[in-house]
Each structure stands twice: as structure tokens, then as C-alpha cells.
């Protein structure tokens, strides 16, 4: 993680970001009961209450405890409960048992958040650049958890047979299936990728240093793969034909009975619905397919006679596109990917769905994790995971950039993950 305060973050701008981020997190959980916010759907997910608490623990620990003389912890028992994986901060509650924490209650967690926010407001005029750099880091860290909040709530409500909706009307509007994919030739030769890490703009440590990569001639699809195209894969026996699958992927399909993207449910006959936080609705044919694993994305690409883009191919193509564009999260409410807008060139590079690449999540040349506990964030997970690029409909707007490196294990699909095809030329 970067901990240096970046030049773009003036005190007023940073304070506005801090207040906006903290407010949005609470808006996202506003429809939940204490029980909703306590239960954990699976080991990969965390309770909503835990996300609210962990992001508060981060600020209380690394800013107030370490940079504000005389600050006393709100409750000195809670760091054990809400530390995630920072070995330097000592022992912690097991991740798989977070859903057993019926106490502290949601109201207590919200009171703790107010206490920490008030303490930071009071200390703000006297904070040095190191402390404000950690606040900036804490804001970006909490934005990551805002996306996790939504996907983890979705994973929980999807287990309920009555398919409850916690938000009102869906945001997806009807649209015809998209036209055929158009291929856009990418840059080839030597390109530069990665964040500059020059202190001008924020970036996580794993995004840099900036370095050179060599690209062969290739093309990217102008948009992500749609639900209607995924249905064609399914109807052609895509999930039943081992020739499309990596060995580990085929073993995963067989062991888990996988036959469709996560949260798809059969209606009568051959129709499918998809569950989201606005309830169960028919699968939208024009919207990007989402909640698919790396294994599924790779299998579809093989079936389609294409491949997944590499991280350098994707990032070099996105270099001239506004990362704050597209369908991303602006306020609390239902989130679903939307159909591709009309237009030419590359569409939906940022927003709607994170896009799997064929690149492993590994360090760039010259990578060094930040010193201390906050360095235990990205580098120690550079094993067995794949990079996703862009942003999703659940990503807070302003959080992503071309160099951003999301990463998950190849079987994971509870996030808003999709696929854009690539091919060699």
C-alpha cells in the first residue's frame, strides 16, 4: 500500500473524500437489520457489520493510535475482532468465524464509526503529511470494502429461497442483444504500463513501478461478452465439454456441478433469471455476463476461438480512456451491469464488470512493499491469483484507473467479474 500523501490530495479535498467515503459505507447498509449485517454467507465473504468495523479499525489503529498523542481506543478488545490479516498487529479472530460475532451489535459499530470520525475531525488541523497519507490510504481501502460490502450482501441474500430484494426498482433498462463483436487492434511493440509512483496521484503499491512491456500484434473486443453470447455457449454444451476447459477448471466444474454463472436460476423451461440486490429478474440478454470465474472466462474464450487479454494489452488499450466514465457506483442502490452503450471503439472498459485477464498477479520489476504493517496488503498475496482490470457497477466512481490491479483466485466469482475477448493478429 502507498502511504505517502499524494500531491493531488489538498487538505480540503482529502477531508471531503473522507466524509464522502464514510457516509457512503453507512448508506450501503441502511436497509439491513442487525441480523442481515451479522451473518456470513461463506468464508470468502464477510458480514456487512465486519466491513464497517474493519475500515474503522484501520483508521483508528494507523492514524489515531499512532499519530494522535493521548488518543485512547474506543474499546481495546475490538482490534482482535476486526484486524483482517495484518500479522504485525498481532492475533486476530478467524476469518471463517466472523459471522459468529453477534456482539458488538450493528448500532455499537455505527457509534464507534462516529467516534472515530469525530476524533479525526478534531485532530485534522494538527495532522502531519504522514498521518494524512494514511487517511488517504484508508479512504481508498474503504472504497474497496464498499464494493465487497455489496457483493458480500448479495452472496448472503442469494441463499434465501424467497429471493428478497433490499433495493427498489432495478437500474437496468431493456435493450436488444448487442451486435456482433468488433475487433479493435491494440498497440504493439514496446509500451509502458504501471503507475508512475511519483507522488502525484494515488496508487496502491502493487500498481508500480512503471515499466516497459513488449506486445505482439493483437486485437481486443470492443465490449465485454454479453449474457446472450453466454447463453449460446451454454446451449452448445460449453459446461459439458472438457475440451474447452483447463484441467483445474474442468475438475472445478465437475466437483461443484457448475452449469451457469453464479446467481443464475432456472425459470420454467429454458429461461433463466439472475438474482441481484433488486431481486430476481430475467437474465438481461444485452448486459455483460457477470459473476463468472477465471476458469469460465478462459473456457468461453477457447470456445469462441479467442483468448483472454494480457494485463499489458488491456492497460495499454485503456490508457486514453477516462477511468471515471462508465456505469459505476455513485450512491447506494441496486447494482446490475448495463448493456453496452452505442458507439465505436472500446466500450465499457471502466464500469459494469471487472474483466479477467490471462496474467498472473505477480510483482512488477522493482516492486517493493511499503514498510511496516500497511505493507501487508498486496505483495503477500502474489501467488496463485489472476489480474482483473477496469471497474464494475459496484466500484465507487473515482476509485479505479488503468493501472489498477484487482486480483482473485481462478475459482472465485462472487464479485462482478466478466470477460472481454482478445485475439492474436
pLDDT tens profile 116-129 = 999 999 999 999 99
- Is 5 inside a domain boundary? no
One domain for residues 79 and 198: no
> DSSP of 147-161, one letter per residue?
HHHHHHHHHHHTTST
Q: How far is CA 303 from CA 178, 285, 390, in A?
A: 19, 19, 24
The CATH number of the domain holding residue 131 is 1.20.120
Share above pLDDT 90 across residues of the chain, in percent, rounded to a whole number: 85
Task: Confirm if 360 and 407 have CB atoms less than 8 A apart.
Answer: no
- Is 118 inside a domain boundary? yes
One domain for residues 138 and 228: no
- For residue 4, name the pLDDT band (cuts at 50, 70, 90): low
- Is 247 inside a domain boundary? yes
Give the pLDDT mean for 162-182.
79
- For residue 15, name the pLDDT band (cuts at 50, 70, 90): very high
Phi, psi for residue 314 in degrees, rounded to 5: -65, -50
Q: Which of 122, 157, 192 is the last residue of a domain?
A: 157
- Is 62 inside a domain boundary? yes
Q: What is the pLDDT of residues 251-278, one digit of tens each?
A: 999 999 999 999 999 987 778 999 999 9
Show the domain range for 98. 11-157
One domain for residues 317 and 362: yes
Looking at residue 3, its pLDDT comes to: 54
Instruction: Tell me the sheet residues that pair with 329.
Output: 396
- Into how many domains does the chain fold? 2
One domain for residues 146 and 227: no
Answer left, alpha or beta for residue 21, where phi above 0 means left and psi between -120 and 50 means alpha.
Answer: alpha
Residue 170 pLDDT exceeds 70: no
Q: What is the pLDDT of residues 288-341, one digit of tens each?
A: 999 999 999 999 999 999 999 999 999 999 999 999 999 999 999 888 999 988
One domain for residues 151 and 203: no
Average pLDDT score over the chain: 94
One domain for residues 147 and 113: yes
One domain for residues 207 and 288: yes
Amino acid at each position: 500500500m502507498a502511504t505517502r500523501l499524494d500531491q493531488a490530495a489538498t487538505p480540503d479535498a482529502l477531508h471531503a473524500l473522507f466524509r464522502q467515503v464514510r457516509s457512503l459505507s453507512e448508506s450501503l447498509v441502511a436497509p439491513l437489520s442487525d441480523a442481515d449485517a451479522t451473518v456470513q454467507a461463506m468464508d470468502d465473504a464477510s458480514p456487512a457489520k465486519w466491513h464497517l468495523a474493519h475500515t474503522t479499525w484501520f483508521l483508528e489503529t494507523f492514524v489515531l493510535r499512532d499519530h494522535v498523542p493521548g488518543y485512547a481506543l474506543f474499546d481495546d478488545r475490538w482490534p482482535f475482532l476486526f484486524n483482517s490479516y495484518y500479522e504485525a498487529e498481532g492475533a486476530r479472530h478467524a476469518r471463517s468465524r466472523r459471522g459468529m460475532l453477534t456482539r458488538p451489535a450493528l448500532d455499537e459499530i455505527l457509534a464507534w464509526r462516529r467516534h472515530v470520525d469525530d476524533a479525526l475531525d478534531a485532530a485534522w488541523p494538527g495532522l502531519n503529511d504522514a498521518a494524512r497519507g494514511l487517511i488517504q490510504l484508508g479512504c481508498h481501502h474503504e472504497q474497496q470494502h464498499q464494493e465487497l460490502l455489496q457483493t458480500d450482501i448479495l452472496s448472503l441474500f442469494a441463499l434465501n429461497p424467497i429471493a428478497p430484494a433490499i433495493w427498489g426498482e432495478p437500474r437496468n433498462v431493456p435493450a436488444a442483444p448487442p451486435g456482433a463483436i468488433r475487433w479493435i487492434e491494440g498497440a504493439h511493440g514496446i509500451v509502458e504500463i504501471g503507475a508512475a509512483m511519483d507522488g502525484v496521484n494515488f496508487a496502491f503499491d502493487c500498481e508500480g513501478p512503471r515499466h516497459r512491456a513488449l506486445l505482439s500484434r493483437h486485437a481486443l473486443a470492443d465490449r465485454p461478452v454479453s449474457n446472450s453470447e453466454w447463453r449460446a455457449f451454454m446451449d452448445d454444451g460449453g459446461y459439458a465439454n472438457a475440451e474447452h476447459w483447463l484441467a483445474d477448471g474442468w475438475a472445478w466444474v465437475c466437483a461443484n456441478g457448475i452449469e451457469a454463472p453464479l446467481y443464475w436460476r432456472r425459470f420454467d423451461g429454458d429461461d433463466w433469471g439472475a438474482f441481484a440486490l433488486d431481486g430476481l429478474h430475467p437474465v438481461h440478454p444485452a448486459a455483460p455476463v457477470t459473476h463468472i470465474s477465471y476458469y469460465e472466462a478462459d473456457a468461453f474464450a477457447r470456445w469462441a476461438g479467442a483468448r483472454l487479454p494480457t494485463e499489458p494489452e488491456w492497460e495499454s488499450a485503456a490508457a486514453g480512456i477516462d477511468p471515471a466514465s462508465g456505469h459505476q457506483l455513485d450512491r447506494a442502490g441496486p447494482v446490475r451491469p448495463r448493456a453496452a452503450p452505442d458507439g465505436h471503439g472500446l466500450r465499457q472498459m471502466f464500469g459494469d464488470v471487472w474483466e479477467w485477464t490471462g496474467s498472473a498477479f505477480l510483482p512488477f520489476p522493482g516492486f517493493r512493499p511499503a514498510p511496516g504493517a500497511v505493507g501487508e496488503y498486496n505483495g503477500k498475496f502474489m501467488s496463485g491469483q489472476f489480474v482483473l482490470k477496469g471497474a464494475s457497477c459496484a466500484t465507487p466512481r473515482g476509485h479505479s484507473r488503468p493501472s489498477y490491479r484487482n486480483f482473485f483466485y481462478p475459482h472465485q466469482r462472487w464479485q462482478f467479474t466478466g470477460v472481454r475477448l482478445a485475439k492474436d493478429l
